[in-house]
Amino acid sequence: MGSFVVVVLKLWLQIILSPLFLVLIIVVGWQYRRMQRMSQGLFPTNRNMYIRSTLLSTLVGIAGGVAGSAGLLGLGVDLARMGIAYLFITAILLMLIHPRFLCFAYAGGIISVSHLVFGWPDVSVGQLMGLVAVLHMVESMLIYFSGHIDPMPVYVQTERHGVVGGFNLQKFWPIPLVAVMSVVDPRTASTGITLPDWWRAGWWALFHDSSGVPSSVSYVLLPIIAILGYGEVTTTASPRQKSKVSARNLFCFSLVLLILSVMASRNPHLCILPALFGPLGHELVIWLGIKAESEATPSYVMPERGVMILEVLPGSTAAQAGLKRGDVVVGVNGLTVNSREEMEALLRYYGGELQLEICREGQAFSSSFARKPGQSLGIVLVPDPGEEGVRRRHAAFRSQRFLNWLKRFLR
């Protein structure tokens, strides 16, 4: 057992130090920088914020890779028995239909149903859907711990409430994983692992699936590098509240799918359960999020008195003065403000010393601080009624331009 853990840790460290993982980090950083540039013309931003987001996502992604590797190895997910090539090809084809279908839950479900109905491709449904469950479980953990960090403020056009303030939660995590693949001929393996007898006796939950495993099989530890992503818009809850609910729903989906996958690996008659629950359960998670967002009242709208702060830029003058998201500014240097236009005009007029009258959760207080002439305060205010906003889109919207280019290229 000790030697097995040492081999896993060494391989996992090699992944992190590999040039390919560095390329993945650069890709993630490029995505964050691109998002920051899109918002610079609308809201004040820290020009180096993308570096912080990239480093944080990398660290969280590495931690997620530890959890994911433990899940894949602990459950006995065998990459040789799930048709990885079919999984990726199906996911890409589904992406061409609609970007939101770029998810292994849909691709795995389709492949599993095809196997059960037509006998092709030859895959282990329990193994395949077990992989899908583990990846989504890791994603739920990443969303819970970091999905709310550095949200992008947006103005959203809604049908019921007009233009409201909100946040675009967009995250990318580079994930280093270690998994097992079975091989019949040990000579084809660069890293062979002989399993202890108590493992062969059934310790791995997915090890003895319905198709059987030869007792003489050898195992290869394989490095896997992936990117997990998360994106949604919230106007009715704080980024932290929204990410917690999304993580909880996704974790419950993953746990149920994992249980069904283990059951299917033991009983071939139950394979239809994870095959159907994968895509249908994922649709349920999405529907619950949309339903909760559409039925709740927007949180970031202009109050009857004062103006509400939608976001405070980290490290800004406002942040150093103790201002927070959701604070309502009712006065500037003794003058009452009741619109975003009035607030911005007063901030332009007054330089040097500023005294803001703040209302936070029903409690009134004053905040006094100094700033240099022309220096940005570092706050984003909620929109005034009648302002223009962007319509809510699915998280995968940014992939649409790439898809349009790809379709033109293939013609």
Residues 230-284: tens digit of each pLDDT: 989 999 999 999 999 999 999 999 999 999 998 998 888 999 999 999 999 999 9
Helix/strand/coil (H, E, C) string of the chain?
A: CHHHHHHHHHHHHHHHCCHHHHHHHHHHHHHHHHHHHHHHCCCCCCCCHHHHHHHHHHHHHHHHHHHHHHHHHHHCCEHHHCCHHHHHHHHHHHHHHCHHHCCHHHHHHHHHHHHHHHCCCCCCHHHHHHHHHHHHHHHHHHHHHHCCCCCEEEEEEECCCEEEEEEEEEEEEEEEEEEEEEECCHHHCCCEECCCHHHHHHHCCCCCCCCCCCCCCEEEEEEEEEEEEEEEEECCCCHHHHHHHHHHHHHHHHHHHHHHHHHHHHCHHHCHHHHHHHHHHHHHHHHHHHHHHHHCCCCECCCCCCEEEEEECCCCHHHHCCCCCCCEEEEECCEECCCHHHHHHHHHHCCEEEEEEEEECCEEEEEEEEECCCCCCCEEECCCCCCCCEECCCHHHHHHHHHHHHHHHHC
Which pLDDT does position 9 carry in this prediction?
A: 84
Share of the chain above pLDDT 90, in %: 52
Which residues on neighbouring strands pair with residue 176, listed in sequence order?
225
- The model's pLDDT over 210-239, given as tens digits with 9 standing for 90+, comes to 444 555 666 778 888 888 999 899 999 999
User: Whole-number mean pLDDT of the chain?
Assistant: 84
Angle formed by the axes of helices 104-118 and 125-146, to 10°? 170
- The model's pLDDT over 313-344, given as tens digits with 9 standing for 90+, comes to 888 889 989 999 999 999 999 999 999 889 98
Confidence label for 107 from pLDDT (cuts 50, 70 and 90): very high
Asked if pLDDT for residue 293 goes beyond 60, the answer is: yes
- The model's pLDDT over 157-182, given as tens digits with 9 standing for 90+, comes to 888 888 999 999 999 999 999 988 87
Confidence label for 146 from pLDDT (cuts 50, 70 and 90): very high
- The model's pLDDT over 112-138, given as tens digits with 9 standing for 90+, comes to 999 999 999 999 999 899 999 999 999
Q: Bigger pLDDT: 391 or 309? A: 309
Asked if pLDDT for residue 97 goes beyond 60, the answer is: yes
> Half-sphere exposure of 70 toward its Cβ, with a 13 Å CA cutoff?
8
Asked if pLDDT for residue 409 goes beyond 90, the answer is: no
Which pLDDT does position 395 carry in this prediction?
A: 37
Least confident of 58-62, 79-83, 195-199, 374-378: 195-199
Confidence label for 185 from pLDDT (cuts 50, 70 and 90): low
Which pLDDT does position 73 carry in this prediction?
A: 86
Which pLDDT does position 48 carry in this prediction?
A: 80
Confidence label for 60 from pLDDT (cuts 50, 70 and 90): very high
Q: Bigger pLDDT: 299 or 410? A: 299
Which pLDDT does position 189 carry in this prediction?
A: 54
- Both tokens assigned to 303: 């109050």
Sign, CA torsion 308/312/316/321:
positive
Which pLDDT does position 217 carry in this prediction?
A: 66
Confidence label for 205 from pLDDT (cuts 50, 70 and 90): low
